[in-house]
């Protein structure tokens, strides 16, 4: 489904779309699970993809119990993650720089709408040398309700001065696609750790193999 070409906008999720960070975070949690002996990490972790910090914590507590020392484990995971990947060392997803340049060449308004807190989003985008490609950055701490609620995408549209129907959303997570769909936008799923199911195929305008396929789908060079 195409959009009004006079008001072109595209909103990117960050983790798993711009950066290959979902796997990096998962690897850190896996190391902690082995170190401290908590099992079945995949179940709560996969549920956390695409949601904000508060929702992630609650998912872990709901699964492992209220006495699960989430904050202590999260602090350790975060410390290890930043030591390894800060300073522009976080790997980019294939084709992201090329796709962003094509959007810029075709005068698209662009935004990041990430469940990660804003300060970290800004720092990671700047460290990767991608800040010039984004007109707006919206972090998970700028809205009260996390994805799958549509709030973060609606705020990004407000900041871009476009209506939801005028914007594509590029997402890898179920909760992100649900949020974009609820906002009545044009969701494009580029799967990362979660493969599309029937619900995702129904809610997404398209499910594409990688980011370079997005430009072909939209029709930009």
Output the pLDDT for position 203: 98
Look at the domain 9-20+92-218 and name its fold.
Rossmann fold (3.40.50)
**Could you report how far apart the first and last alpha carbons of the chain are, in Å?**
18
Please state the length of the chain.
221
Residues 6 or more apart in contact with residue 124 via CB below 8 angstroms:
14, 19, 90, 116
Amino acid 7: pLDDT:
53
Q: Where are the chain's structural domains?
A: 9-20+92-218, 21-85
Give the predicted TM-score (pTM) of the model: 0.92
Torsion, CA 210, CA 214, CA 217, CA 220, rounded to 10: -140
Query: Quick one: pLDDT at residue 142?
Result: 97
CA dist., res. 19 & res. 42, Å (int) = 20
What is the distance between the alpha carbons of residues 182 and 154, in angstroms, rounded to a whole number? 10
Which residue is associated with the tokens 């779309």? 17
Angle at which helices 53-64 and 70-85 cross, to 10°: 130
167 strand-pairing partners: 9
Question: pLDDT by residue for the chain (221 residues), tens digit each?
Answer: 555 555 599 999 999 999 999 999 999 999 999 999 999 999 999 999 999 899 999 999 999 999 999 999 999 999 999 999 999 999 999 999 999 999 999 999 999 999 999 999 999 999 999 999 999 999 999 999 999 999 999 999 999 999 999 999 999 999 999 999 999 999 999 999 999 999 999 999 999 999 999 999 999 98
Burial of 57 (0-12, 13-18, 19+ CB in 10 A): middle
């Amino acid at each position: 489904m195409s959009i009004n070409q006079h008001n072109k906008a595209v909103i990117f999720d960050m983790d798993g779309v711009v950066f290959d960070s979902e796997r990096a975070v998962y690897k850190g949690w896996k190391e902690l699970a082995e170190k401290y002996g908590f099992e079945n990490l995949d179940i709560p972790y996969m549920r956390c993809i695409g949601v904000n910090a508060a929702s992630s914590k609650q998912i872990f507590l709901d699964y492992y119990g209220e006495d699960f020392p989430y904050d202590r484990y999260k602090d350790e995971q975060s410390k290890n993650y930043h030591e390894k990947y800060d300073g522009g060392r976080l790997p980019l997803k294939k084709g992201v720089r090329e796709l962003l340049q094509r959007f810029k060449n075709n005068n698209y308004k662009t935004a990041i709408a990430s469940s990660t807190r804003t300060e970290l989003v800004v720092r990671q985008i700047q460290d990767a040398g991608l800040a010039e490609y984004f007109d707006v950055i919206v972090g998970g701490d700028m809205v009260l309700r996390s994805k799958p609620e549509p709030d973060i995408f609606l705020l990004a549209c407000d900041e871009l001065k476009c209506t939801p129907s005028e914007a594509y959303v590029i997402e890898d997570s179920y909760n992100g696609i649900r949020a974009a769909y609820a906002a009545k936008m044009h969701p494009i799923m580029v799967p990362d750790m979660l493969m599309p199911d029937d619900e995702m195929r129904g809610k997404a305008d398209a499910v594409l193999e990688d980011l370079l396929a997005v430009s072909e789908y939209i029709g930009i060079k």
